[in-house]
Amino acid sequence: MRQWFKILTVAGLVTGAPAAALAQEEGEQPSLSAQDQAALATMNAAVVDGHVIPAFKAQAEAGAALATAADAFCKAPDAAGLDKLRLAFGAASDGWQKVQHLRFGPTELFMRSSRLMFWPDPRDSVGRQLADLLAKKDPALFAPAGLEQQSVSVQGLPALERLLYGDDATKLLAGDGEAKLRCAAVAGIAANVATVAAQALADWTGGSIDYEKLVKTAGPGNDIYRSASEATVELFKSLYLAVEVVADRKLSKPLGENAGAARPRLLEQWRSGRALRNVMLDLEAAKGLWDAGMGSAVRQRDGALAAEVDKALAEVLNAAGQVSPPLETALGDPARRPAVEALVAKATALKTLIAQKVAPALGIPLGFNALDGD
């Protein structure tokens, strides 16, 4: 944390002319009135209180429960214990999914997002790194001090998923040295997930970083957010990302060009069969953020637009509900595939609506250039 603050305070890497020396020619940019900024500040606080903090609390609780379940399993590994542990893994995975769109501040400090969920992984870094680490046959490498020295790809949920659901998952129950080693890996990674999730929550809710306060005190004198609208930008990007992952990242490549070309192993968490649930959680997170305050802020400025977004959110959630699980086989099933394609189309339409219309309604400059630039 000290390192992070150092970055904050020595941000003046660019020496150059002091701001006063050269007049900024920004006068004609439609700037927001004090009243607009106040409305955004109110919205920011409502979204942080009603959406962000509860999601990080839930993630931290699920992470702690996962660590507890892993320890319990490793004391007496059996099939029933493994089932329980898998449930705890699912809950922790859900916890991540509910914050994965909030990729600013605490989520991005210390590479937390990559350490919790290294995905996508087209070069199979998780598989290779985990295999290398297991081959060293040293349980200490998975203890906290050992694990944090390793690649981020083996520190989080994807590595845990391999251990719990991969082809070798039964080795956890063999009662031999390999089982002990794998248990140490499971327990160590679960403990790391718990720690990282707890740290993210701690940085949101107090301590030396206190990101909640940083967002709520946006304005002159705040190094990170010079105005409420700058903090709104983060929340807006989060709304966009929650939809964009569904529109562009999580489904399009697994779908392929046609049913015969589907590639279900490009789905997120295909081993544990969570891909469809994850997409649903992402869209619910978008709706959660919108309903927690952004929607009403837009409604005050443009009621018709807010209604349009409400409708699009309902439609995309409905489209996700129309996909018959499991998604892993729906992609290549001519009967079930159209529902997946319809979901992508609805998500794309909502993404476009958010980029083109919602940002201007909030008075922030982000459009498709800013959100999907190159």
* Closest residue by Cα to residue 92 from 118, 54, 112, 62: 62
Which position has the token pair 């129950």?
A: 173
Q: Judged by CB under 8 A, does residue 370 bind another protein?
A: yes
Residue whose C-alpha is closest to residue 85's, from 155, 201, 153, 183:
183
Sequence-distant (6+) residues with CB within 8 A of 215 are 44, 45, 48, 105, 225, 231, 234
308: left (phi over 0), alpha (psi -120 to 50) or beta: alpha
Question: Is 25 near another protein (CB under 8 A)?
Answer: yes
Shortest gap between Cβ of 267 and another protein (angstroms)? 11
How far apart are CB 155 and another protein at their closest, in Å?
A: 13
| CA-based nearest residue to 36, from 298, 215, 371 | 298
Q: Counting contacts by CB under 8 A, is residue 167 touching another protein?
A: no
Out of 12, 220, 260, 334, which residue is the one contacting another protein (CB under 8 A)?
12
177/365 with CB nearer another protein = 365
Residue 23 or 135 with smaller CB distance to another protein: 23
**Within 196-255, which residues bind another protein (CB under 8 A)?**
223-224, 226, 233, 244-245, 248-249, 252-253
Quick one: which of 340, 345, 346, 313 has its CA closest to 324? 340
Place of tokens 């999580």: 250
159 vs 245 by CB, closer to another protein: 245
Total of chain residues touching another protein, rule CB under 8 A: 58
Q: Does 15 bind another protein (CB under 8 A)?
A: yes
Query: Is 2 a residue that touches another protein (CB under 8 A)?
Result: no
Q: Which residues contact 55 (CB under 8 A, 6 or more apart)?
A: 98, 99, 102, 285, 288
Q: Give whichever of 5 and 140 is closer to another protein, judged by the CB atom.
A: 5
Given candidates 13, 34, 80, 335, which one binds another protein under the rule CB under 8 A? 13
What ranges make up the beta strands (E) of the chain?
A: none
What is the distance, to the nearest Å, from the Cα of residue 169 to the centroid of all Cα atoms in its chain? 26
CA–CA separation, 162 vs 168, rounded Å? 8
| Region of 23-31, 75-83, 297-305, 315-323 interacting with another protein (CB under 8 A) | 23-31
Instruction: Tell me how far, at minimum, the Cβ of 230 lies from another protein, in Å.
Output: 9
Task: Name every residue whose Cβ is closer than 8 Å to that of residue 41 and which is 6 or more positions away in sequence.
Answer: 216, 218, 219, 228, 231
Residues 88-117 that bind another protein (CB under 8 A): 104-105, 108, 111
Q: Report the residue from 11, 38, 174, 307 that binds another protein according to the rule CB under 8 A.
A: 11
Residues that bind another protein (CB under 8 A): 4, 7-8, 11-19, 21-26, 28-30, 104-105, 108, 111, 120-123, 223-224, 226, 233, 244-245, 248-249, 252-253, 257, 263, 266, 348-349, 351-352, 355-356, 359-360, 365-370, 373-374
